[in-house]
Structure 1
């Protein structure tokens, strides 16, 4: 739109130039009724440049400073609306973006491909199977080492079972051994003690349990020497019932280790044990 408005104004100005050529040099110039506006230098460019007068005024390169050439005459004329002259001739384009390829040309790798597809399949199966085998071995090793840290130590395993010669314990005597950090009472009972233990009405006791259920052989009584009240160690062959007595809080146990009097709620615990009659040995644990 700016070019269309400038075209009539420049045409009139250029037409008035031709009229002023016949005037004498001293004649006064008719004042122009054009409003004050920016000045541009309009050059007479040969028609060979191919630009219309308006584009020639706005885009053609001006004459460099110096003495005027006979074939290039110029004068200053006012223009109502004109863009500043930059001195650089530029051609208007739709856009200046260069064509960029999305990806470079991919080389041909066909000569590296396998001739038989089954070869690649077999290699893939081999790699997958090998990786699975290695993963399984690593997982097994990790789990085994983790479980080994949770197992009992060597000293605990050594104390897991205790073997005792029964012939070393005389009849009517007690033996105290250590098993898993706890005292174990082993008594070789007499026949009178066996009859006394089995003649008691065990159903009326605080923790009812028969003597037959507490012993594997009547003459051998095996118990943990820990009071069921607060974990003290009772004294053997003491108390009101001829068995064991806890001096801490006054718990009384009979000759079968059953609670008969005092604050203890349960009988003395019987651990797991076996008697080897052939070797006459007892194995606790």
Structure 2
């Protein structure tokens, strides 16, 4: 297609601040210069004629496990092949925000940032005799949201240094964007609105790049021309997800707790007795 999935998705979704949630999870922003801090990937958008005032760069943060961390937990709670993502989102709604005190560090296959090749799933506050299965599912979703916020804060710091105005909304894409409750949790954790354009952004972005090459025009001019002609890239209207006021403060405190548990996990070398059961 002429570019990586995240750069193409940035173009295809016409996004300024993009969150992509699939097996892994990424957060990226448009920027004039790369953010060189040793933690972010310095992507360049595929079209070198790109003239958006925020620039052609795409600093990106990535966590290794997003939806895969939720799947990992669900397999241990319900058994492999005995759940759907839709089911997990409904199950998570039955547990209050904060998952009754449970905190999950979702480092199933290690982690890039913070650097933790030894990282494994780490749980705090789990009591097998008292807890419900849905508590663990929601805690996994919250853990992923906290891990994503960790990267979002790194991006924010770089954006402030470049005086980049933060977008009011975060454009979301990927399979994880289809989860209603998981997306609501992330909106609450970030304290920002999420917008799901319901497009196959990477494919659309690749198509824009191909058209730009054929027409010898910048990508944003090609996409604007399609918009002016009323050509829609998705039959669905965008979905807006707003943070719930009653959860914003709770999740701010939850994120601080997550950082404390993360520090504990590093001190313990992520070693922990296995407490997770399977329904068999």
- TM bucket by the smaller chain? under 0.3
Q: TM-score, normalised by structure 1?
A: 0.15
Larger Cα-atom Rg? 1
Q: Which has the larger share of helix?
A: 2
Q: TM-score, normalised by structure 2?
A: 0.15
